[in-house]
Structure 1
Amino acid sequence: MISHVLRTLSAAALLAAPLALTATPAQAVTSCTVNGRVVSGATVNGTTGSDYISCGALAPGDTVNGLGGSDYIVINGPVAGTVDGGAGGDSVTAVAGTTASGRVLGGDGGDSLFVGPNAGTVDGGPGADFCRVASGNPPVNC
Structure 2
Amino acid sequence: MIRHLTRALCATTLVIAPIALTATPAHAVTTCRVNGVTVSSANVVGTAGPDYITCGPLAPGDQVSGLGGADYITIGGSLGGGAVVRGGTGGDYILVNGSVGPMAQVLGEADGDYIRVGTNLGAVNGGTGFDLCRVAGGNPPVNCEA
Per-residue deviation, 1:28: 1.4
Give the residue type in structure 2 aligned to 1:83: V
Per-residue displacement from partner, 1:85-134 (whole Å, max 9, x unpaired)? 01111000001121112211001111000111111100001111110101
After the TM superposition, which parts of structure 1 deviate over 2 Å for at least 4 consecutive aligned residues?
14-24
Partner of 1:139: 141
2:126 matches 1:124 = yes
Per-residue deviation, 1:40: 1.0
Partner of 2:47, secondary structure, is coil
Partner of 1:102: 104
Q: Matched residues in 2 for 1:75 and 1:97: separation?
A: 10
Task: Kindly tell me the number of residue pairs found equivalent between the two proteins.
Answer: 129
Give the residue type in structure 2 aligned to 1:75: I
Give the residue type in structure 1 aligned to 2:26: P
Give the residue type in structure 2 aligned to 1:21: T
Is there any run of 5+ residues in structure 1 with no aligned partner, and where? 1-10
Identity between Structure 1 and Structure 2 (%): 50
Per-residue displacement from partner, 1:10-66 (whole Å, max 9, x unpaired)? x9xx6885575255513411x310011110111000010100000011111100000
Give the residue type in structure 1 aligned to 2:65: N
Partner of 1:74, secondary structure, is strand
Per-residue deviation, 1:135: 0.9
Partner of 1:79: 79
Q: Under a length normalisation based on structure 2, what TM-score does the superposition of the two structures give?
A: 0.81
Cα 1:18–1:96 change in 2 (3 A) is: same
Partner of 1:127, secondary structure, is coil
2:34 matches 1:39 = no
Give the residue type in structure 2 aligned to 1:85: G
Contact 1:27–1:42 under 8 Å retained in 2: yes
CA RMSD, Structure 1 to Structure 2 (Å): 1.8
Give the residue type in structure 2 aligned to 1:71: D
Give the residue type in structure 2 aligned to 1:50: P
2:29 matches 1:28 = yes
Cα 1:119–1:19 change in 2 (3 A) is: closer
